[in-house]
Structure 1
């Protein structure tokens, strides 16, 4: 049996980007028993123009160490997709990265290296084609073809379909974060899709000591809290209704708002409510302190196809705090029915009332303990098992389950 010495993760976001969190960075950080190499995504021309320092320094491969993860910034990340410029840049950067891997692991680096790419890296098809890894994992994180930002943009949709066509045909194994995604894309491309759900850094969220947060000091209790991005799958109408139905509760919103991805008028109506507080994005390191101030944590999602197929990161983070969790009827909450109050729009406020009233220390302990098996290290172990079953090779993992 062969053995993997390194995993190369093609990232969704720059490593130090704090506006949102993502599964790829969490997996890379949890892959501790082999070399974990993280390649930051190209930022494109618009992103580069907004950051002159990046534009000037982005002419050769650069690397830094981030707590055991080697983070690489590829050159020519400012090359746009149009006119095929991204393709030529990716061919060049892949050739250079081939040499980097050869220096690290010898000419047989392909026998010792796994390359991981997620469904959000659709612009990097040519990088993968030129790099030609022997072991390639394709991870479907969301229902790409159903996202409004993708399906309503012909150029972006075509790029995604071309990317999927190549990855589904050439990957050593394909994984998805939900049964809904696995079923849909398995049927579309006629190949097996394994399921590895999202995970959580349990220790990060299960802090016992209360941490004062000055920003929360002036917000009256009880606090209902949502953390995460605001885009097309967040039910803004439900949040507006909740603010109206429970004026005595404070509704605290933490996360990045994606302009153009949702109804701007509804967003403004929500923010106009006297008991609604949008604190914008907070660094991952500080999120648990904010969550400690919540009486309940909310997962208000729409019934859109891409919403129902998702496996929200925040669900795992919420549950790890031990706080009551109230969600709309997402398939992803099915594994946690004992601990999640699932409600429709009409009864959402009443479910929150009940969740707050029914808090029980024994239930809290069971809830937090249950999340141990959903750690990111456990997900790395699952990934190793799929690699072994499909390719006859694997990498050393921790013993955590």
Structure 2
């Protein structure tokens, strides 16, 4: 059995994302997976438990000091703690060590880098995650160093691949785009009927996912005021950098439902008439291959999403908009649908996380 150390940017206990899906499925394919992640000093929001106990993945959550993105000394202390931990772990030989963020290069000693196959699974334009100039100036050389020591690079979107080649001279033959996917076991329309989760007779429009500063609150407000007889739901954790609670507090048909257990998301989604993805376009979002669209399609929902390169791939299946007036136009079309389009579900069936992981394994083992 081949063993893999997956060093994840995402805490295992946070919202279920690509890293958790990849590791669970690799373990099902007879890989021995150790999932290493940082554990926040304090619990951030609601720790979602539902998906955690169905896997043979070994989970190592290392508690760290807070504010490392603000203070270099704290980052150094955290890196030292993690480096020692990983140095001890790597006494056991891994077939691959998978990194998911440029800063993780500091978790590995020179010997570990020299003696192991390093894979970079790049899921974001990390330079754009924070506006802190010190963070950016440190991240760029780290990402370059990481790329220089990797055996293979996997990018979750074509735009990320293009950025890595342009910014760092990454060699195209060692990079493969493996998009995100959908958990068909959970997002299965045949298993989830409608219920009273969203319990009135109004038409319901909803967004499911994290809410941060790239969420377009203005377009949500515009739509809610234009369509007072439609209920708008935002379902997911709200980050500290987003002031949506203040911005919508006087709008009676916008509901902030908070984080929901992963297992319940299909039930909530099935109660929506239209699913939306109202994002502000910036360099971060332009690199995102959106998981939520795959999930929306798996539940056969009409979808309205902002138009950019990664959503254009879905243009025959969803409604795309470029401004607030077009958002209302496309929302009206989605709300008035009378036909169930099985092509949406069919598309999702061909884009499962299982399929993505098989692509991933084939690429790193070539």
If the length of structure 2 is used for normalisation, what is the TM-score? 0.87
Q: Determine if the alignment matches structure 1 residue 286 to structure 2 residue 268.
A: no
The structure, 1 or 2, with the larger RCO (C-alpha pairs under 8 Å, 6+ apart) is 1
Q: Determine if the alignment matches structure 1 residue 37 to structure 2 residue 33.
A: yes
Could you tell me how far 1:273 is from its partner in structure 2? 0.8
| Matched residue, 1:124 | 104
| Matched residue, 2:364 | 387
| Matched residue, 1:167 | 146
1:65 and 1:71 in contact (8 A); partners too? no
Could you tell me how far 1:287 is from its partner in structure 2? 0.3
| Matched residue, 2:122 | 140
2:232 and 2:253 in contact (8 A); partners too? yes
After superposition, the C-alpha distances for 1:194-220 in whole angstroms (9 at most, x for unaligned) are: 211111112311222554554422x44
1:328 and 1:342 in contact (8 A); partners too? yes
Could you tell me how far 1:324 is from its partner in structure 2? 0.5
Regions of 4+ moved over 6 Å:
none
After superposition, the C-alpha distances for 1:23-42 in whole angstroms (9 at most, x for unaligned) are: 11111111121324233322
Tell me which of 140, 148, 156 is aligned to 1:177. 156
| Matched residue, 1:237 | 218
2:274 and 2:304 in contact (8 A); partners too? yes
Tell me which of 262, 278, 299 is aligned to 1:300. 278
Taking the TM superposition and a 5 Å limit, the aligned residue runs for 1:264-283 are 264=243, 267-283=245-261
Taking the TM superposition and a 5 Å limit, the aligned residue runs for 1:2-401 are 5-17=2-14, 20-31=15-26, 32-43=28-39, 47-48=40-41, 66-74=54-62, 77-78=64-65, 81=68, 82-83=72-73, 84-99=76-91, 101=92, 109-110=93-94, 113-119=95-101, 122-129=102-109, 131-132=112-113, 134-147=116-129, 150=130, 152-191=131-170, 192=172, 193-211=175-193, 213-217=195-199, 219-260=200-241, 262=242, 264=243, 267-344=245-322, 345-361=324-340, 363=341, 365-389=342-366
Give, in whole Å, the separation in 2 of the partners of 1:296 and 1:244: 17
| Matched residue, 2:47 | none
Could you tell me how far 1:371 is from its partner in structure 2? 1.1
1:29 and 1:36 in contact (8 A); partners too? no
If the length of structure 1 is used for normalisation, what is the TM-score? 0.80
Gaps of 5+ in 1: 52-63, 102-108, 390-401
After superposition, the C-alpha distances for 1:172-198 in whole angstroms (9 at most, x for unaligned) are: 111211111111111111112321111
1:7 and 1:34 in contact (8 A); partners too? no
2:298 and 2:348 in contact (8 A); partners too? yes
After superposition, the C-alpha distances for 1:56-114 in whole angstroms (9 at most, x for unaligned) are: xxxxxxxx97522121234x644985433223223311221023x2xxxxxxx34xx11
Secondary structure of 1:305's aligned partner: coil
Flag the 1:49–1:247 CA change in 2: closer, same or farther, 3 A: closer
Could you tell me how far 1:267 is from its partner in structure 2? 4.6
1:324 and 1:359 in contact (8 A); partners too? no
Secondary structure of 2:259's aligned partner: coil
User: Aligned pairs, how many?
Assistant: 347
Give, in whole Å, the separation in 2 of the partners of 1:252 and 1:167: 40
Gaps of 5+ in 2: 45-51
Secondary structure of 1:24's aligned partner: helix
After superposition, the C-alpha distances for 1:292-327 in whole angstroms (9 at most, x for unaligned) are: 110000011112121122111111111110010111
Give, in whole Å, the separation in 2 of the partners of 1:237 and 1:316: 25
Secondary structure of 1:13's aligned partner: coil
Could you tell me how far 1:7 is from its partner in structure 2? 2.2
